[in-house]
Amino acid sequence: MDASRKKSIVGRAAVLEGLPEHPAVKALLAWNPDALADAKFDRGELTLTVAAEQIRAAAATVRAAGYNFFEDVTAVDWFPSAPRFQLSYHIISHTYKERIRLRVLVDGENPAVDSITPIWPSANYYEREVFDLFGIRFERHPNLRRIMMPDDWEGYPLRKDYPVEGYR
């Protein structure tokens, strides 16, 4: 890994200055100048934070910009800090041979975001998994049911207030 990949750029303004020609950044700004709430380039990975209600449109934008392959989406529970959930969408480009991460912050109270299955059908299972294990709803998902746990399971196992072992 060369030195330029190692340096870390933190903050929206710094990323806009440091990576103005990045195709994903460019496309998102062309679509909506206020699209990026935050940005970070760390350990060779670009993380772009977008607003929760804009995730579907942002996903369509980066797909049109050449980031054609959706890898996965998962959540991180930052309990007890707020906003509680972070959703990380990993998207790879077969053209640029590069990966970006779209990041969305979701509140802990009744968490929900738009599903991106209309953009990438492959998000189907991953969104079901996040729903199953974190309890985050994906609006307009075709089949939002539990995937790993039994249908009648109570609670969301990957939340931080769910114990690792023992009975609740």
Partner 1 sequence: MTETVGTPILEVPIAEGASDQHMVLNMGPQHPSTHGVLRLVLEIDGEIIVRLYPEIGYLHTGIEKTCEAKFYHQVVPLTDRIDYLSPMANNLCYCLAVERLLDLEIPEKAQWMRVLLSELTRLNSHLVWLGTHAMDIGALTVFLYTFREREDILRIFEAVSGQRMMTSYIRIGGLAMEPPLDFFDRIRAFIRTFPEKIDEYSNLLTGNPIFHSRLKGVGYLSAADAIALGVTGPPLRASGVDFDLRRDMPYSGYEKFQFKVPVSTDGDCWARYEVRLIEMRESVKMIQQALDGMPEGPIKADAPKIVLPDREKMKTQMEALIHHFKIVTEGFAVPAGEVYQGIESPRGQMGYYVVSDGTAKPYRVHMRNPTFATLQALETMCKGRMLADVVAVVGSIDIVLGEIDR
Q: Is 94 in the site for partner 1 (CB under 8 A)?
A: yes
The answer to whether 104 and 55 are in contact (CB under 8 A) is yes
Burial classification of residue 51, based on how many CB atoms lie within 10 Å of its CB (0-12 exposed, 13-18 middle, 19 or more buried): middle
The interface with partner 1 within residues 43-72 (CB under 8 A) comprises 43-45, 47, 56-57, 60-61, 63-64, 68-72
Of 77, 107, 136, 161, the one binding partner 1 (CB under 8 A) is 77
Least distance CB 98 / partner 1 (angstroms): 8
Residue 39, Cβ density class (10 Å: 0-12 exposed, 13-18 middle, ≥19 buried): buried
Instruction: Give the binding range for partner 1 (CB under 8 A) out of 14-22, 104-112, 135-143.
Output: 135-143
The residue from 23, 66, 83, 157 that contacts partner 1 (CB under 8 A) is: 157
Residue number with CB closer to partner 1 (18 or 98): 98
As a whole number of angstroms, the distance between CA 10 and CA 85 comes to: 20
Minimum CB distance to partner 1 smaller for 31 or for 37: 31
User: Burial of 44 by CB count in 10 Å (0-12 exposed, 13-18 middle, 19+ buried)?
Assistant: middle
Question: Tokens 């303004």, residue?
Answer: 13
- Residues near partner 1 (CB under 8 A): 6, 31, 42-45, 47, 56-57, 60-61, 63-64, 68-72, 74, 76-77, 88, 90, 92, 94, 97-99, 101, 117-122, 124-126, 133, 140-143, 146-150, 157-158, 162, 164-165
